[in-house]
Structure 1
Amino acid sequence: MQKQPISKGVFTWKFCLAIFCIFLVAPLTAQEEPEVSVGGALRYNYNLSSWKDGQKNRGGDFGYDIFRVNFNAKYKEVYLNAEYRLYSDAFGGGVMKQGWMGYKFNDIDEIQIGLTQVPFGIQQYNSHNWFFNLTYYMGLEDDHDMGIKYIHAGEKYEYHFAFFKNSEELRFGSDTESSTSRYSYDVVGRNKEINQFNGKFVYKFGDKAANRLGVSAQYGGLYNLDTQETGNHYGLAAHYEITQNRWNLKAQALTASHNPINAEGESREALSFGAYGAPYEVAADFNLYSLAISRNIPVNLGPVSNLEFYNDFGYMQKHKSNFTDSYMNVTGVLVTAGHVYTYIDYAAGYNHSWLGGNFVDDFAVGNPDAKWEARFNINIGYYF
């Protein structure tokens, strides 16, 4: 039977107790040999891109993707979750994807502190494929920032409240730009994300709560290193997910706006976003619509036990009239064979920084004369 939601008064003192446990009790219990588990993955990648003539002449390229290590530790109700990834130098090198300490009040209420996932939109992913959906490239899918998050996950109602002091911060100078060596996309360059508040509500209904209908909101500051003034940014999203038999459907619509206070003469129509060691420009104001569908088919083909076929679509509608919109569509299959997971994707993009065209400003001003480009990709990973 589900436990009843805790009252406001009980929450207040339990909330304070959780903070005390995490910062004072956790270091002491570490000496009492907590439960620790270590996992990870090694992945390789083959790709053949329509816009790379030299690569097409070679028949594509096959090489190293990432090696990652996952750590989980627990003592009583205090626990740790961390993931470190090692990419090639060209893609940012070593990065921390996530790393947080947590405390469980009960089976449905918990708190997390550290580099934790931002509660916005469909989670954990708004996609099924290896490339994610368009939402990821604007920092609105599987984003992780530095802060504190409270989660209530009941049978019918789920809600998240969070405060993030800033995104992953690797440089602590007075006017130092944020590093682009990170896993998830954030504002970089002369602006920094600060003091962000997030709220997310999900209503679960149907057999085994197969339907998840929700809304998300976030609001935060954009501190400019030149003017030393703080602008703002916000995002609003409505989302729905259903898992029925072997089918899964994800649908989401969102709007986002960024209002930095830049130095005189600098455009406020686009901002610099960064991850994987390289920045690019993103339109300051846009709507984003996505629809993703998949179907699992159990099979018995030697070590292969399941095939998940999917199609994920995203459309970025930029508010600026002279900006050209961006599109993305990925059709593929995930092949499960024991601990080996293989994504076979055909990813197509129009004004997409990672799928042909001009990397620097495809997600900003774009190119009205652009054409669709595509990348055939196979990602093979052993997960342990």
Structure 2
Amino acid sequence: MFFKSFIIGCISLFLIQYSSAQDKPEIDIGGALRFNYNLSTWKDGQKSRGGDFGYDVFRINAKAKYKGVKLNAEYRLYATGFGGGMLKQGWIGYDFNEKNNLQIGLTQVPFGITQYNSHNWFFSINYYAGLEDDHDMGAKFSHKGEKIDYAIAFFKNAEEMSFGSYSDHSDSRYSYDIASKDWDGDGTADLRNKEVNQLNGKINYKFGQENIKHKLGASAQYGGVQNLDTEKMGNHYALAVHYELNARKFDLKAQVSNYKIDAKNPSNEPRNIAAMTAYGYPYFIATEATTYTLGVGYNIPVEWGPISSIQIYNDFGYVDKAEKNFEETIMNVTGALITAGNVYTYVDFASGKNMPWLNPDFDNSLAQGSSTSGDWNLRFNVNIGYYF
């Protein structure tokens, strides 16, 4: 009854139009073009030629507002190997007043530190477990007060692009979601699961002074996990406590998260791993773990030609998996964000142990790990983007 009442209430409020709403539509079109250079220690061929520099993404952002009803959409076009075209977000919203807002569609999940729990181009390790900057299909109500911010949301499912009865999730998506992947090497997808009917809640308490601000919060999510082979419904949950500090030019982000995925897979498939997918390719992940993230940043104003500021930062992440014989995952990124007009450049030195994007064993790093992914690997990455 709560879900039904919540949705009916949201839709009813959403349809209300106040007489003070503006008469003329507002439209804003923007976007970005980004290029990326990287040099990775585990890629011998790449090292011999001094790294690779190429196309990253072209994106279009569209915002509109008319009679109090808003639109916010972002479409991204990556290279084919990274999933090609995908909708990052796309929602219709309504501001009831300065404090209360409703969004319906593909909207950011209110979990943990938002918008980002990180400073660098790679995000934090939580992103790769589906716990940072995740976007799903549903309805979200947000309140921003002087001392308390909170959000509640119901998500019917993750981004859905195929509407068959037993269709696997598409790998072409921006945020990581539970999906399907061949586990036994027979060429057929296994661990075929989908997230459904997820409820989220998040609250932040804000305190401090004008130059030193604190934000202390907690998040929770719970939802179903439908297996497409057994047609049985499992569940998943995640909990987090988080803290943010902004002290003039310095900021800090800290979060502890715990998650568990209980999928009702066929009896011949494992229960201690699940498949997650984004950017054109899935990998395996431990079904239960605790993650720890800590990021610090410091802004330095400069006047070097077009360069107006440099933010230096370090983001650290650690994954403690519940399965005893699974190897830990560690990720650390030290870098700088250079701002020059509309050009933003991330210069990152990323190191990792059992991290999919930082070693040769992409499939198993966030699950059991392996002898190759257990070694420390380094990646020097430069991402240059013009934002308009």
Q: Structure 1-normalised TM-score?
A: 0.93
CA-to-partner distance for each residue in 1:4-29, whole Å, 9 max, x for gaps? xxxxxxx99974533335xxx8xxx9
In the alignment, the residues of structure 1 paired with residue 200 and residue 9 of structure 2 have an alpha-carbon distance, to the nearest angstrom, of 21
1:321 aligns with 2:312: no
In the alignment, the residues of structure 2 paired with residue 368 and residue 55 of structure 1 have an alpha-carbon distance, to the nearest angstrom, of 22
In the alignment, the residues of structure 1 paired with residue 160 and residue 8 of structure 2 have an alpha-carbon distance, to the nearest angstrom, of 31
CA-to-partner distance for each residue in 1:200-231, whole Å, 9 max, x for gaps? 00000001371110000000000000110100
In the alignment, the residues of structure 2 paired with residue 17 and residue 166 of structure 1 have an alpha-carbon distance, to the nearest angstrom, of 22
Q: CA RMSD in A?
A: 1.8
In the alignment, the residues of structure 2 paired with residue 16 and residue 380 of structure 1 have an alpha-carbon distance, to the nearest angstrom, of 41
In the alignment, the residues of structure 2 paired with residue 19 and residue 175 of structure 1 have an alpha-carbon distance, to the nearest angstrom, of 33
Relative to structure 1, the CA distance from residue 267 to residue 356 in structure 2 (aligned partners, 3 Å threshold; closer, same or farther) is same
* Residue in structure 2 matched with residue 375 of structure 1 by the alignment: 379
1:180 pairs with 149, 154, 171, which one?
A: 171
CA-to-partner distance for each residue in 1:335-365, whole Å, 9 max, x for gaps? 0000000000000010011101310010001
Please show how residues 158-237 of structure 1 align to structure 2 within 5 Å. Answer: 158-189=149-180, 190-208=192-210, 210-237=213-240
Please show how residues 224-303 of structure 1 align to structure 2 within 5 Å. Answer: 224-303=227-306
CA-to-partner distance for each residue in 1:22-67, whole Å, 9 max, x for gaps? xxx8xxx99x762101000000001000000110110011000000
In the alignment, the residues of structure 1 paired with residue 68 and residue 330 of structure 2 have an alpha-carbon distance, to the nearest angstrom, of 44
In the alignment, the residues of structure 1 paired with residue 364 and residue 256 of structure 2 have an alpha-carbon distance, to the nearest angstrom, of 23
In the alignment, the residues of structure 1 paired with residue 59 and residue 8 of structure 2 have an alpha-carbon distance, to the nearest angstrom, of 38
In the alignment, the residues of structure 1 paired with residue 214 and residue 160 of structure 2 have an alpha-carbon distance, to the nearest angstrom, of 36
Letter in structure 2 aligned against 1:64: Y
* Residue in structure 1 matched with residue 50 of structure 2 by the alignment: 59
CA-to-partner distance for each residue in 1:50-106, whole Å, 9 max, x for gaps? 000110110011000000000000013210000000000000000000000000110
1:138 aligns with 2:118: no
Relative to structure 1, the CA distance from residue 126 to residue 12 in structure 2 (aligned partners, 3 Å threshold; closer, same or farther) is closer
In the alignment, the residues of structure 1 paired with residue 387 and residue 120 of structure 2 have an alpha-carbon distance, to the nearest angstrom, of 17
Please show how residues 339-358 of structure 1 align to structure 2 within 5 Å. Answer: 339-358=342-361
Between the aligned residues of both structures, percent identity stands at 56
Q: How many residues end up aligned between the 2 structures? A: 368
1:17 aligns with 2:8: no
In the alignment, the residues of structure 2 paired with residue 86 and residue 15 of structure 1 have an alpha-carbon distance, to the nearest angstrom, of 32
Letter in structure 1 aligned against 2:206: K
Letter in structure 2 aligned against 1:89: T
Letter in structure 2 aligned against 1:127: S
Unpaired runs of 5+ in structure 1? Answer: 1-10
Letter in structure 2 aligned against 1:119: P
Letter in structure 2 aligned against 1:267: P
In the alignment, the residues of structure 1 paired with residue 235 and residue 293 of structure 2 have an alpha-carbon distance, to the nearest angstrom, of 25
* Residue in structure 2 matched with residue 338 of structure 1 by the alignment: 341
In the alignment, the residues of structure 2 paired with residue 237 and residue 14 of structure 1 have an alpha-carbon distance, to the nearest angstrom, of 28
Mean alpha-carbon deviation: is it higher for 114-123 or for 200-209? 200-209
* Residue in structure 1 matched with residue 63 of structure 2 by the alignment: 72
User: Post-superposition shift, 1:265?
Assistant: 1.2
State whether residues 340 and 383 of structure 1, in contact with CA within 8 Å, keep that contact through their aligned partners in structure 2. yes
Relative to structure 1, the CA distance from residue 205 to residue 270 in structure 2 (aligned partners, 3 Å threshold; closer, same or farther) is same
State whether residues 351 and 357 of structure 1, in contact with CA within 8 Å, keep that contact through their aligned partners in structure 2. no
What SS does the aligned partner of 2:118 have?
coil
Please show how residues 79-90 of structure 1 align to structure 2 within 5 Å. Answer: 79-90=70-81
Relative to structure 1, the CA distance from residue 106 to residue 297 in structure 2 (aligned partners, 3 Å threshold; closer, same or farther) is same
In the alignment, the residues of structure 1 paired with residue 245 and residue 257 of structure 2 have an alpha-carbon distance, to the nearest angstrom, of 18
Letter in structure 1 aligned against 2:386: Y
* Residue in structure 1 matched with residue 90 of structure 2 by the alignment: 99
State whether residues 14 and 105 of structure 1, in contact with CA within 8 Å, keep that contact through their aligned partners in structure 2. no
In the alignment, the residues of structure 1 paired with residue 291 and residue 51 of structure 2 have an alpha-carbon distance, to the nearest angstrom, of 32
What SS does the aligned partner of 2:102 have?
strand
Q: Structure 2-normalised TM-score?
A: 0.92
1:125 aligns with 2:116: yes
State whether residues 7 and 139 of structure 2, in contact with CA within 8 Å, keep that contact through their aligned partners in structure 1. no
State whether residues 125 and 142 of structure 1, in contact with CA within 8 Å, keep that contact through their aligned partners in structure 2. yes
Letter in structure 1 aligned against 2:193: N
Unpaired runs of 5+ in structure 2? Answer: 1-5, 181-191
